[in-house]
Structure formats: C-alpha cells, structure tokens
Amino acid sequence: MKRRFRMIGLFVSLLLTVPGWSQTPVPGALPVRLGVGGTAPPGIGPLAPQGTPAVAGGTLPAAPPSSATAAPTGNMSADGAVPVGVERVPLRVTDLTLKRLGVGTDTPSWQLWHGPRLFRDFGPDEMAARAVFAALRDQRPTEWFSIGTPRPLVEYGLVNGLPPLMPARVLPGSPGLVTGPDGQLANSRTLSSDRPLMQGLGFQTIVPIDLKSVRVEEIRGVWVVRDDHNLLINCADQAAAAEQALRAIRRHGLNRLGIVGQRRPVFRCLFAAMDDAVDTLPEPIRRHHLQLQSEALNPVGLAVPGLGYVGLVYHFDPRTLTLRKRGGQWQIVTDDDVVLGSFGPAENSAAEALRLLQQAQITAVARYGSLTLLFRQQQVADRLPLYVQVRQFDPAGLRVVTTQGNRCYVADQGRHLCDCRDPTEGQTICRILQAFGCNLLGHLGPTPRQGLTFFARHP
C-alpha cells in the first residue's frame, strides 16, 4: 500500500513540475487558452465561391477571392506503409549534434546533424537551431517523419510507433488531479515505458488541434490543414502533402502543433497531448480571427481573371531581403527563405540587384512555371531604372511554339520569350501576361543564365 501511494505521489509531482508552454499566438492566430475544458463550436463552413476579380492596370488583388473546397482524394498507401512524399528516417537523439559550418566561402550557417547526415540547415538563425535541438531531445523519437518537398512543411516523431505524450496541464488554483472510477489518475492508463512524456520544450508557440473538425481545404489558392478554430498548416500548392498531414493527425491522435520561429515558422511539429479540449470563443470573434489568419496566409495563389488561382505569390518586406552565398552562388533571399535569384560568384551583381529591389519597394513575387512577376504594393513592377536590361514585346501577339525536339516555349513574333513544360502551361503563361498587361521582359544579373529574370509593364 505504501509503495502504491509513493508511486502516485511521484506521478503527481511530475505533472505539477511540467513547465507551461508559450501561449504567444501566431500573427493573426486564434488566441485560445491551452487549458482543459470547453467545447468545439460548429465550423464556419466553406466560404461561398466568388467570381475572380478583374485585374485592372496590372493590379494584384489585395485580397484574392476566398475559397474553401475539399482536397482531392490522392493515392494513399495502405496502413503501415509510408505514403509517397513522406520521408521517414530512424533517429537517435544521442547522435544529434549542433554545428556552425561554412563550406569554402559560403555564408556560415547553423546546422543540425544526425551522425554523418545533415538533418536540418537553419542558416544564420542560431536561436531556431537551438530550439529545434531542444524540442527533439525533449521528445526522444526513434523515427522521424517529414511531410512536404523540397523543404518539410510539417514533421512529427514516433517512439516505437507511438507519438510522445504531453501531460495535461495543471492550472494554478485547480482543486487537484482528476481521478477515474477505478481511483487511477485520469489518462494515466495511456502511459507506458515505451511512450515517454514530453514537456514541449523549444516551441515558441503551441496550437491545439480539434481532432473532431480538422480537415483540408483550399483557401485563397493554397491547400490548408485547418480546424474550426485555426488555419494550422499552409501547404501551398502541395495538396498531397496536406492530405498526408491530415492522415497522420487522425491516425496518431496528434492534437498539438508546435512552432519554432519568431518572425516566421522555421519548424512545425505535430505531437499528442493528454487533454484534447479546445476553448471556445464567441462566434463573431472566432470568425474574425479566422479571417485575419486567411489574410495573413503566405504564400497564396495568383488570382487571374478567367483562370482562377494559378501559381503562387510570396509576399515580403523589401527591408528584410538579404544576401547569402550557397554552393558558390550569391543569392537574394526573403525572410521566408524564398530565393529570388542566384547571381553566381559575382557579389557585386547580387548587391546591386538587392539595392534595386529595395529602392523599387518590391513587396511580392509571383511564380508559375518559368514565369516570374514582381509586384510593388499590389501593382506589377513598372518604371524600371535605365540600367535594367529590358526587352519589349506585344502581349497580344504571344504564341506557344513546339519544336520537333519536343521543346516548348512562349514566343513573341517567333522570338523565344520563356520556356514552358507543355502547350497548356504555355497558354496559361500567355493569359497571365495579358491579364496583368505585361509588355517588358527584365533581367538583373551578370549573364542571361545568372540573376533574376522577370516580367514587368511599361505604364
């Protein structure tokens, strides 16, 4: 009997000493408390489809038409198998090491290594690298899953086939731990020696996931994993990755999303917690927060009249653009690690291009296939400096050309303008250029193959 009380006392001490996790909301996130109690409100339901707005004078719609449609059903693997697009690797936290490395003349970066294999590269963000290192050591996974390409969109770990578990949080002033009819601590029956507890270390933000309403929807031209309370994971144009994340959440009961990154999420990790309750906000406030999250999505689809959403638009603050050297190439990158252009070994060319983008106050880049559009405050870039290499063309005379060697490209009066994979993509590129009134092909860089090539318009 004394031994039984001693074991219960140890478990109570463990729960009471688990530190609280950060409740700092993501910009525009629904400010829910991560405690126990509350009932999930009904979903807001799909937004009614709206007509695609006309693009006047090369304007990028400030708020593209909201849409919420179910994700298409993809080919999923059978239970127990890893779906295509999901990377699974065995992991031992004792083999993880954090290093600051620079190969040759490349910009040094903080890297997490698993034995002889590079696990993650965090660039100059030392704080994020140390936070992820702490999160992995806290979870102690035996295998690690990454969803999305080329960079992981979301990740999760398993310990002998089960996710590590975060204990229910004991709030200050609570009367005590809840016991079941058999006198055992609530949820204690789910614990085992093969499923360690975790504390949520390393995460700047932890967002609850409502397993009853979690789903995949297309919102503003991108696939989003969401529930009735938050837009959780922006999977961009990767519908299959969104499906795979949803499948993992439902299969393993992953009801928490941990996020590392203060200015931008650099690491998203799914895991499980004992309590699955999500606090409820009044319906008008809940809808307002969801609308704010929808407006904050980055990237989003490019809205084109008559086509709907195509490609992706990445928004950024031009003041946060930086230079870095990777693989001997000087690059201009956004705060979200989107590479705008690679300029080869010529640092002066990259620095001059960066100065131009910042002076021109470029705030977004849209990409579809080989097409790149630059935007300034919702307007396609115009009034380019004289030293920018430009070529003028007539958007009404664009044609798609297919050669005998199966090469396909968009041509202006028979002259090559840009490549395309097939005639369908070429026709879409033509319609995008015509819709935004683009009539200039600009280039920044030392050679035609190095730098940034983009389309613009002459006012």
Residue 398: beta bridge partners? 412
pLDDT at residue 32, as a whole number: 30
Which residues, 6 or more positions from 196, have their beta carbon under 8 angstroms from its beta carbon? 139, 140, 159, 164, 165
Q: Is 22 helix (H, G, I), strand (E, B) or coil?
A: coil
Angstrom distance (rounded) from CA 155 to CA 254: 11
pLDDT at residue 382, as a whole number: 86
Residue 143: beta bridge partners? 90, 158
Tens of pLDDT, residues 211-223: 999 999 999 999 9
Q: 84 falls in which pLDDT band (50, 70, 90)?
A: low
Give the pLDDT mean for 409-415.
93
Give the pLDDT mean for 19-40.
33
In b/e form, how buried is each residue of 371-400, taking b as 16+ CB within 10 angstroms? bbbbbbeebbbbebeeebeeeebebeebeb
Q: How do 398-402 and 408-412 pair as beta strands?
A: antiparallel
In terms of pLDDT, which residue wins out, 7 or 121? Answer: 121
Angstrom distance (rounded) from CA 29 to CA 210: 15
At 207, the amino acid letter reads: V
Least confident of 84-93, 305-314, 343-352: 84-93
Which residues, 6 or more positions from 21, have their beta carbon under 8 angstroms from its beta carbon? 34, 199, 200, 203, 206, 258
Tens of pLDDT, residues 151-166: 999 999 999 999 999 9
Q: Which of 23-37, 42-56, 130-144, 178-192 has the highest mean pLDDT?
A: 130-144
pLDDT for residue 384 is more than 70:
yes
pLDDT at residue 105, as a whole number: 66
pLDDT for residue 258 is more than 70:
yes
- Distance between the two ends of the chain, CA-based, in angstroms? 86
pLDDT for residue 244 is more than 80:
yes
Angstrom distance (rounded) from CA 10 to CA 179: 15
pLDDT at residue 263, as a whole number: 77
Least confident of 63-72, 137-146, 206-215, 436-445: 63-72
Q: Where are the domains of the chain?
A: 65-169+192-297, 308-456
Q: Is 390 helix (H, G, I), strand (E, B) or coil?
A: strand
Cα 374 from chain centre: 21
Q: 83 falls in which pLDDT band (50, 70, 90)?
A: low
pLDDT for residue 128 is more than 60:
yes
Beta-carbon count within 10 A of 233 CB: 26
Tokens 């590479």 belong to which residue? 339
pLDDT at residue 230, as a whole number: 95
Angstrom distance (rounded) from CA 121 to CA 152: 12
Tokens 């090539």 belong to which residue? 453
At 36, the amino acid letter reads: V
Residue 401: beta bridge partners? 409
Residue 329: beta bridge partners? 326
Q: 458 falls in which pLDDT band (50, 70, 90)?
A: confident
Q: Is 273 helix (H, G, I), strand (E, B) or coil?
A: strand
pLDDT for residue 42 is more than 50:
no
Least confident of 88-92, 128-132, 167-171, 264-268: 167-171
Give the pLDDT mean for 364-371.
96
Q: Which of 38-52, 377-391, 424-438 has the highest mean pLDDT?
A: 424-438
Beta-carbon count within 10 A of 66 CB: 16
Q: What is the mean pLDDT of the chain?
A: 80
At 51, the amino acid letter reads: G
Greatest CA separation for the chain: 91
pLDDT at residue 264, as a whole number: 85
Sheet containing strand 408-412, strands side by side? 398-402, 408-412, 415-419
Return the DSSP state at 173. Answer: T
pLDDT at residue 178, as a whole number: 39
Give the pLDDT mean for 308-319.
96
Angstrom distance (rounded) from CA 261 to CA 269: 12
Give the pLDDT mean for 29-33.
33
Residue closest to 357 by CA, chosen among 329, 331, 393, 328:
331
Going from the C-alpha of 239 to that of each of 136, 153, 331, the distances in angstroms are: 27, 12, 29
Beta-carbon count within 10 A of 432 CB: 24
Q: What is the pTM of this model?
A: 0.79
Beta-carbon count within 10 A of 304 CB: 23
Q: If you write DSSP's letter for every residue of 331-382 in order, what string do you get?
A: EEE-TT--EEEE-TT-HHHHHHHHHHHHHTT--EEEEETTEEEEEETTEE--
In terms of pLDDT, which residue wins out, 29 or 200? Answer: 200
Tens of pLDDT, residues 191-239: 554 568 999 999 999 999 999 999 999 999 999 999 999 999 999 999 9
CB 14 within 8 A of CB 197: yes
Tokens 């708020």 belong to which residue? 63
pLDDT for residue 423 is more than 50:
yes
Least confident of 27-31, 326-330, 430-434: 27-31
Residue 312: beta bridge partners? 367
Give the pLDDT mean for 12-29.
37
pLDDT at residue 378, as a whole number: 86
Q: 6 falls in which pLDDT band (50, 70, 90)?
A: very low
pLDDT at residue 8, as a whole number: 40
Q: Is 428 helix (H, G, I), strand (E, B) or coil?
A: helix
